[in-house]
Copies of this chain bind each other. A is one copy, B any other.
């Protein structure tokens, strides 16, 4: 018989104690205790974020570059690289705790804002042609001379009123049919899903004739939910929250890797469903809506998020030849997917294009209406991943460039997401090289978010702090350039003025990561255009969607060579187009079918095996780009300094 001794692990702050077997992974133990810690790499020891201090007891920790000799002496280890050998006491430093996490159950709940974007003129018009209908219906009462059964009579009435045949009647509806008919004197309200030809529910007539649905975008980083009145199109409430899967890995790839662990898929799914359930409940409560009246949910998300949402292994998305299990998940019911509180709701999701071009992109393209226009549009969804579609009403091509999470704070030591205290705008004084910045919420800076990083690189480049390769100019008299811990760093905010009490800086390694990310985006755009024999000049409009896109300074993004150097007036910010598309589909069968058409009409270009992409990518590792002819305005700007 195997007997595994249980060891106790005590965490500070909080004094949480859990028991684990010997040799248990320390990061796993932390997650199981319910504590959230930072982690970008999914537990493979490459991000260095899950640093903790073992105050007493022994752990076996693999050596790594993130722990200095001094720290090692003090008991610091990377928790993901450590095995628990004895009873231990662990201190989780403030820095290591998960950031940007809103407390459980406290979602940002908005009221009635239709659409999420800025230039709403650019978005497709909403049309209310709900395919789930709620109607009053009279059923003929049986008599001794005409005593056919209840269901037959209801069927006949639906046939006569709506010309619908072969309707499916779920057993749950049949169970309540006899009393609903008789308690309401044979006049009831029916809720019919015209896509699946299913009687979703029946109700008393005295119920208000309202039906509601949820539109939801499951992003790698953020979840957004709209609660929608399906009869008016009004957005009754919105809620957003970080994707709780972040603690298991920051990007798509680390999530997929996590699903390979025992129970990994279940864990990722459980935390996701748990949050969705909580958000749904919060929205229903805050708007006083009866869960009985929620008839549908429309889900958009990238392919990996959709796989996890439906409980389907996403493993083969990241293995050659990169296939999904399906791009189109079947219509199902809320209870079948473990969704609580909305037991009458049918759940649909928007069809994706490919492994790395998911339903969030079909949804976004639908929202922009570009598939209905003659103009050539470049659609960029800049979130944790960068996805691009170019085209018009006649053709569309799309691709995904694994930009990586650099712009969302991953792989950049002082990088954070766009939360309070994040530096979002930066200007550098040409004479003193001092940075002036603006933080989100106007408080003391605690890190730099994506738009701040783009501004910073752009400014460093323009002011000569870095050269075209992204290396620090050491010949200039820059008092903010320091050498520390084996590398040069440029201090953006000094310890004294920061909210962390430490310097906020950028290092050459950080810049390298950001260069790679911006190079990937631009190489994606170039490759896609070349596939259809077009040039940057041919682009009529650029739509930027996604979390990163929200606050980006386009000028800075052009200067660093991330976005094409075209007239800035051609750029439009549309915010979260994925949830907007889901909202449109929720309201109209026609739009839902259109999203499906879009998914089928986009030609997917796989970049991971595309040699042209590799060339453009390498060319993009310069500021703004190897060939300056692509960036005429930047070139002139460059030489004007």
Chain A interface residues toward B at CB < 8 A: 142-144, 147-152, 168-171, 174-175, 177-179, 182, 310-313, 315-316, 320-330, 332, 336-337, 354-355, 606, 609
CB-nearest residue of chain B to A177:
B325
Q: Which of B170, B182, B321, B325 contacts A151 (CB 8 A)?
A: B325
Residues in B with CB closer than 8 Å to A150 are 316, 323-326
Contact A326 B144 (CB under 8 A): no
Q: Which of B142, B149, B337 contacts A326 (CB 8 A)?
A: B149
Residues in B with CB closer than 8 Å to A311 are 171, 175
Given the known interface contacts A175-B311, A179-B313, A310-B174, the answer about A142 and B321 at a Cβ–Cβ threshold of 8 Å is yes
Contact B326 A151 (CB under 8 A): yes
Contact B310 A171 (CB under 8 A): yes
Contact A316 B182 (CB under 8 A): yes
Contact A178 B606 (CB under 8 A): no
A60 to chain B, nearest CB (A): 33
A196 to chain B, nearest CB (A): 10
Contact B315 A178 (CB under 8 A): yes
Residue of A170, A320, A326 with most chain B CB atoms under a 10 A cut-off: A326
Q: How far is the CA of A148 from the CA of B352 in the complex (A)?
A: 11
Contact B170 A312 (CB under 8 A): no
Residues in B with CB closer than 8 Å to A324 are 149-150
CB-nearest residue of chain B to A170:
B330
The 10 closest A-B pairs by CB, nearest first: A151-B326, A147-B321, A149-B324, A144-B321, A150-B325, A142-B323, A178-B325, A147-B323, A142-B321, A175-B312
Contact B144 A329 (CB under 8 A): no
CB-nearest residue of chain B to A311:
B175
Residues in B with CB closer than 8 Å to A329 are 171, 174
Residues in B with CB closer than 8 Å to A168 are 330
Q: How far is the CA of A323 from the CA of B152 in the complex (A)?
A: 11
Contact A171 B321 (CB under 8 A): no
A307 to chain B, nearest CB (A): 9
CB-nearest residue of chain B to A179:
B313
Given the known interface contacts A150-B323, A321-B144, A323-B148, the answer about A313 and B171 at a Cβ–Cβ threshold of 8 Å is no
